[in-house]
Structure formats: structure tokens, C-alpha cells
Amino acid sequence: AQKVTQAQTEISVVEKEDVTLDCVYETRDTTYYLFWYKQPPSGELVFLIRRNSFDEQNEISGRYSWNFQKSTSSFNFTITASQVVDSAVYFCALRDFGGAQKLVFGQGTRLTINP
């Protein structure tokens, strides 16, 4: 069965600090997708990134970066020089390519950036 674990329930940092959100996943499928979504206070989930299981290259997009390691089944998300606008709940998600093909979410990490 698929499972996504975000062990950090809440993180609070001061603006401009770097922060890493952890994500560990479980799946029996060899082909799958990993995602990160952001949910600001407005409630709408905003897509951030998709990663295929066969592409372990790390990705950087501005202040955001993602570290995908199949050996440890982890897909961590780092925000560099955090800003107050980064405050939100962040979800990691997994979808098998075969099998059930359901999008399974972690419990989310509430990130608060204090000025």
C-alpha cells in the first residue's frame, strides 16, 4: 500500500532562515510520481512540483529546491531565505503509475514564517 509520512507537524522559523520539510514515502510500485502542494490560508491547494520515480535529479526553482533520494524513499523540500508569504501548510503526495493510481497525501506540515 502507498503511504506518505511528513513527520514534522509544525515548523516555525524567523524570516530569512532556511527551512527543510521532510517527506518519506512507501510504495511497492517501481514507477510513481511524487508531488508537493502548498495550501495557504485561503484553502486552495497550489501545485509546486512533480517528480517521476525514474528521475532523481534534484530541482531548484528560485528559493525552492527539492531533494529526491530513492535509496531512502525521501523527497524533501527546502525553502531558502524564507519569507512571510511562505507561511502555509505543505503537503507531499504520491501516486503510483500502475496499481491503484490514487493520489495519497501526507498529513501536511504547517510552516509559519515569523517576521
Residue among 43 and 62 whose Cβ is closer to other proteins: 43
- Looking at 16, 28, 50, 70, which residue binds other proteins (CB under 8 A)? 50
3-state secondary structure 61-114: ECCEEEEEEHHHCEEEEEECCCCHHHCEEEEEEEEECCCCCCEEECCCEEEEEE
Q: Does 66 bind other proteins (CB under 8 A)?
A: no
Residue 6 has which C-alpha cell?
511528513
Q: Does 105 bind other proteins (CB under 8 A)?
A: yes
Query: Which chain residues interact with other proteins by CB under 8 A?
Result: 33, 35, 37, 42-47, 50, 91, 95, 97, 100-108
